[in-house]
Amino acid sequence: MTTVNNSSAKPLETPPTPSGSAAGFSYAILDSIEQEIAVIQKDGQIVYVNKAWVRFGEYNGLAGADWLQSNYLDICAHAALCNEPEARDIYSGLVAVIHGDRSDFSYEYPCHSPDEKRWFLMNVVGLNGYTDDLFVVIHSNITQRKMAEQQVERLSLLDPLTGLANRRHFMQFLPAEWQRNRRDSTPISLILLDIDDFKHINDQHGHIAGDACLKQIASLIGRNARRPGDLVVRWGGEEFMLVLGNTSHATALQMAKELLAGVRQIESPEYGRCTVSVGLSSAVPADDDCEALIRQADSALYQAKNAGKNQVFCYGAITP
């Protein structure tokens, strides 16, 4: 929403104030507030903006805008016509308050600049008790809160020991990737790995050595997730899952064998050597049941364990 009328007019440095010290005091308070504040009429015409509003306009390339000659409804409508989804929502909410269909409106939206990411909270409310013809529009910078929320969300999707995605992340990722491959009629593959005799490593060498083993194998598997459709997951305990979007059974099988060989080559001073058992499942999605692919990979892994460990099994077929 960056279009205003009379952009060549001088910037509004101080709002027009009625006579009287009480009014001047009130405007001074509004100008000291960090939030961008504007007052508009029912037709959208802006009748007041505080200094924070003017500064925000200047920061976004609108230096010299005469805001008192601008119509906020027109600004929002123009942005909505430019296919900005947030602008459409803002315009609808603003109109609803002006028409009396709702008492207030709040909306969080991104307003990123080339050099930083920013988010704002918009509030619209009528000047009830004073007049029914004026409405207050407030924009508050909530960037720090949104960034903190995103960091918490990111951390909630990661396994703290290995830094890999956790099950929660996987259960968000797999259905979306499943549907993408379904639309494209392309195969998706799952490789499920389990460290053989991991309890022995913990009992023989200690939990620090066990953690080192988990991190080394996580690093090895993680190098195989190079595309947006790939995800490496700490499935639980000593199990890892590798999701491979748009990957055929043959390609996934080759990767599974390479992972098996790669783990065999690791020799650690903390725990010596270890091996993994691997289960593989592949499918071209035809329905919404992505969990069937998980069950199939788990079944193949169970077969690999029962057959003596340290090998790859594919669902429905033995693969030594």
pLDDT number for residue 317: 56
pLDDT at 46 exceeding the cut of 70: yes
**Average pLDDT score over residue span 264-276:** 93
Q: Are 75 and 19 in contact (CB under 8 A)?
A: no
pLDDT at 132 exceeding the cut of 80: yes
Q: What is the pLDDT confidence band of residue 12, given thresholds at 50, 70 and 90?
A: very low
Q: What is the pLDDT confidence band of residue 20, given thresholds at 50, 70 and 90?
A: low
pLDDT number for residue 6: 40
pLDDT number for residue 154: 83
pLDDT at 14 exceeding the cut of 70: no
Among 18-32, 94-108, 155-169, 292-306, which stretch is predicted with the lowest mean pLDDT? 18-32
CATH entry, 21-147, from 3.30.360.10, 3.50.50.60, 3.30.450.20, 3.30.930.10: 3.30.450.20
The pLDDT tens digits for 204-263 are 999 999 999 999 999 999 998 889 899 999 999 999 999 999 999 999 999 999 999 999
User: What architecture is domain 157-314?
Assistant: 2-Layer Sandwich (3.30)
pLDDT at 17 exceeding the cut of 70: no
pLDDT at 318 exceeding the cut of 50: no
Q: Are 188 and 243 in contact (CB under 8 A)?
A: yes
Q: What is the pLDDT confidence band of residue 320, given thresholds at 50, 70 and 90?
A: very low
Question: Two tokens at 186?
Answer: 């392309």
pTM: 0.63
Domain 21-147 identical in fold to domain 157-314: no
What long-range pairs does 264-270 form, CB within 8 A, spacing at least 24? Answer: 264/310, 266/216, 266/217, 266/220, 268/209, 268/212, 268/213, 268/216, 270/205, 270/208, 270/209, 270/212, 270/213
State the Cα–Cα distance between residues 191 and 282, nearest whole angstrom: 9
What is the residue extent of each domain of the chain?
Answer: 21-147, 157-314
Active site residue 116: no
State the Cα–Cα distance between residues 63 and 283, nearest whole angstrom: 57
Q: What is the mean pLDDT of the chain?
A: 88
- Choice among 238, 258, 267, 291 that is catalytic: 238
* Nearest in space to 314 (alpha carbons), one of 238, 247, 262, 254: 254
